[in-house]
Amino acid sequence: MRDDKLYTKKFVFTVEGETEKWYLEWLRDQINTCKSRNYNVALDVKVQQSPKKFYKSANAKAAPEVFHICDVESSDPVHIEKLQSILSEMKEAKTQKKIIYKLGYSNFTFELWMVLHKKNCNGILAHRRQYLDHINSAFAENFENLDQYKHEDKFKRCLGMLSLDNVKEAIRRADKINANNEINGKLIKYKGYEYYRDNPALSIQDVVKMIFKECGI
């Protein structure tokens, strides 16, 4: 089958920052050049921390289902309150606009997902800054801080070291983390959504697995 004859499946995302957007755009390109795919993919990614701000102007027919990628950040009350506010807005989208929001979270942050493409990251961290050592180790870099790593050219340099096989490894490692959390973790349920209280934990891999399944990868 010729590539230009492949049907395109569309997925809509709201994300917290530019790194998540760049990653999803990279993932789109990797999928669309994978010879074994059954479908092309279009990822419509908006940098928007507030699901409410997005769904208020969204058309339910154009975006009946939206994935929100966000961080837990810490167990401090201010961060838990922020997360639960986001989950409340996601829940409201269904009643207000008939838009179904699905969650892809990282606890602590998106850096956990990035590290898992290259190595395990199973230990509990005390602070988000500690992902820097894991990023430098995983990508053989020497970033001085996470802000430097998140600069567009630096982050995309890291993406250039990855492939779909690395994504599949990240999924495997993330699933292993969550299998351990199912035994030992504290599962929090809020507004119909679930997340684990303690790091490391994440559900981004479930979103990526769904996309892979839809595209036949």
The CATH number covering residue 62 comes to 3.40.50
**What pLDDT, on a 0 to 100 scale, did the predictor assign at position 107?**
96
Domain count, the chain: 1
Sign of CA dihedral 129, 24, 50, 191: negative
Question: What are the tokens at 115?
Answer: 């590290």
Non-local (6+) Cβ contacts of 11 within 8 A are 41, 42, 43, 44, 65, 67, 211
75 is in which domain, residue-wise?
3-110+163-215
**What pLDDT, on a 0 to 100 scale, did the predictor assign at position 1?**
41
**What pLDDT, on a 0 to 100 scale, did the predictor assign at position 74?**
87
Distance CA 113, CA 15 (A): 14
Question: Is 26 a member of any domain?
Answer: yes
Question: Is 128 a member of any domain?
Answer: no
**What pLDDT, on a 0 to 100 scale, did the predictor assign at position 6?**
85
Distance CA 65, CA 60 (A): 8
Question: Is 18 a member of any domain?
Answer: yes
Question: Is 153 a member of any domain?
Answer: no
Distance CA 48, CA 66 (A): 12
- The residue behind tokens 């493409």 is 117
pTM: 0.94
**What pLDDT, on a 0 to 100 scale, did the predictor assign at position 113?**
98
**What pLDDT, on a 0 to 100 scale, did the predictor assign at position 60?**
81
Phi-psi region of 20 (alpha: psi -120 to 50; beta: other; left: phi over 0): alpha
- For the chain, list residues with pLDDT below 70: 1-4
Question: Is 81 a member of any domain?
Answer: yes
Question: Is 16 a member of any domain?
Answer: yes
Tens digits of per-residue pLDDT, 197-215?
A: 999 999 999 999 999 999 9
Cα 178 → chain centroid: 15
Question: Is 133 a member of any domain?
Answer: no
Question: What are the tokens at 72?
Answer: 């837990």
Question: Is 117 a member of any domain?
Answer: no
